[in-house]
Amino acid sequence: MGKRGSLVFLLLLQILCFLLFPQPLQSQGNSFSRPPAAKLILTQNERSDSDPEQVHISLAGKDHVRVSWITEDKHVKSEVEYGTEAGKYSAKATGEHTRYQYFFYRSGTIHHVKIGPLRPSTTYFYRCGGSGPEFSFKTPPAELPVEFVVVGDLGQTEWTRSTLEHAESKDYDVFLLPGDLSYADTQQPLWDSFGRLVEPSASRRPWMVTEGNHEIETIPILFPERFKAYNARWLMPYAESHSSSNLYYSFEVASTHVIMLGSYTDFDSASDQYKWLQSDLTRIDRLTTPWVIVLLHAPWYNTNEAHQGEGESMRKAMEELLYKARVDLVFAGHVHAYERFTRIYDNKADSCGPMYVTVGDGGNREGLALKFKDPGSPLSVFREASFGHGRLRIVNETHAHWAWHRNNDTNAVVADQVWISSMSSFKACWDDTSSAARYEL
């Protein structure tokens, strides 16, 4: 890993591709002006080859957590020791490992080990592969309240660091990332660097991610396989949620059903993703999970000049399913700004539709999407092109608080906030026709 030679080769390859294929490889947006992006932070592995690096955890089905990490040494066992007391590991689990190749780049050994059953709201100490530092995490609560941090388009710049610091400055339960993680953009060592940058946060709270366009990483003709690095490194609980692809899945945490959709895989009504979403929605029990939230990358509603219309075909294909299921909230990334909409269905304000929020402002190297359309839209309630992060605190069955924190120099400032009532408590949206429609899905 981190081989200078392969990096240089890839750079040359990319230059060649840009010359051969004038369409940019990664950014699929319109042109818009952006301020200079902050400096990249490139982290090095300072541990030994058998020690874990890039440790991160994710929820993996009821009462289970998946621990993922990478070692240079390929003989390290995919084994996690854990327990509720520091230094004392009362349990042990074994898992699987993989490696991948991207031209001359060879990844380290990527380990994934599922541990559990675990108790809710409990701190566990763990060690990966029998060596290296001890890590710890806290499991989410079984009951409300629960708090999510929501931030997309993270990248690995000085802004990313400041966003993460602000997010970490107050406790939360689960980190949600609606796509565009490392901005490696085919330069594989940047995935490793990203993994190290986020480890302090991603090893102590579950990080649940879905893919963005920067995860695709294909090069026309030369490297057609999509999501190679993303799927190997960021394994999400798709099998645990009856999905056949790591690109879309769902999970439940404290009365909340969270659906992660894929903007860059098929979503038309004949697709696997569509059929999976249909059946996932019918499996939701609003009595046990009154809250339903959805994350995806390319926003369905967007008044920024950047990426106009890119989420439109997915919206046309899937919006009705989400509407009939009375989804509470839809979060997106992709546009490097913050925008909050009212409740919408089919381009009209609709009190039974989801509230839409774009939080593509984590701090990546491309900078901000500064230009909003003028005039805006009456559906758009608040919009601002600044880096920051969001926090969704689900207080009880009927109320949740959403706050967007703008990154200020040294602190985070709440710039937008709103109380949200759950759809499940809103009787008018569950009359005979709509609930009948829901079960017909």
Which is nearest to 297 in space by CA: 346, 250, 243, 247? 247
Phi, psi of 199 (to 5 degrees): -50, -45
Contact between 213 and Fe ion by CB under 5 A: the answer reads: yes
Instruction: Choose one: 158-166, 230-238, 311-319, 403-411; the region binding ligand NAG (CB under 6 A).
Output: 403-411
Contact between 336 and Fe ion by CB under 5 A: the answer reads: no
Task: Respond yes or no: is residue 257 known to be catalytic.
Answer: no
The binder of 180, among Fe ion, ligand NAG, none, by C-beta within 5 to 8 A per type, is: Fe ion
Which is nearest to 230 in space by CA: 276, 264, 253, 199? 264
Tokens at 31, concatenated: 């042109």
Give the nearest distance from C-beta 41 to ligand NAG in angstroms: 20
Residue number with CB closer to Fe ion (10 or 298) = 298
Contact between 411 and ligand NAG by CB under 6 A: the answer reads: yes
Among 127, 334, 383, 438, binds Fe ion (CB under 5 A): 334
Give the nearest distance from C-beta 84 to Fe ion in angstroms: 39
Largest Cα–Cα distance of the chain, in whole Å? Answer: 65
Contact between 182 and Fe ion by CB under 5 A: the answer reads: no
Phi, psi of 121 (to 5 degrees): 45, 45
Per-position x/- string for 359-398, each x denoting binding to ligand NAG as judged by CB under 6 A, each - no binding: ------------------------------------xx-x
Q: Which of 56, 111, 307, 405 is catalytic?
A: 307
Instruction: Choose one: 228-236, 268-276, 325-333, 405-413; the region binding ligand NAG (CB under 6 A).
Output: 405-413
Distances (CA, A) of 293 to 104, 253, 257: 40, 11, 6
Contact by Cβ (8 Å): 115, 91: yes
Give the nearest distance from C-beta 172 to ligand NAG in angstroms: 18
Cα atoms in the 13 Å half-sphere on the side-chain side of 322: 32
Contact between 358 and Fe ion by CB under 5 A: the answer reads: no
Distances (CA, A) of 225 to 103, 153, 213, 273, 298: 12, 22, 14, 19, 21
The binder of 213, among Fe ion, ligand NAG, none, by C-beta within 5 to 8 A per type, is: Fe ion
Give the nearest distance from C-beta 196 to Fe ion in angstroms: 22
What's the CA gap between 130 and 126, in Å, rounded? Answer: 10
Cα atoms in the 13 Å half-sphere on the side-chain side of 105: 23
Contact between 409 and ligand NAG by CB under 6 A: the answer reads: yes
| Residues noted as catalytic | 307
Residues near Fe ion (CB under 5 A): 180, 212-213, 334
Residues near ligand NAG (CB under 6 A): 395-396, 398-399, 408-411, 413
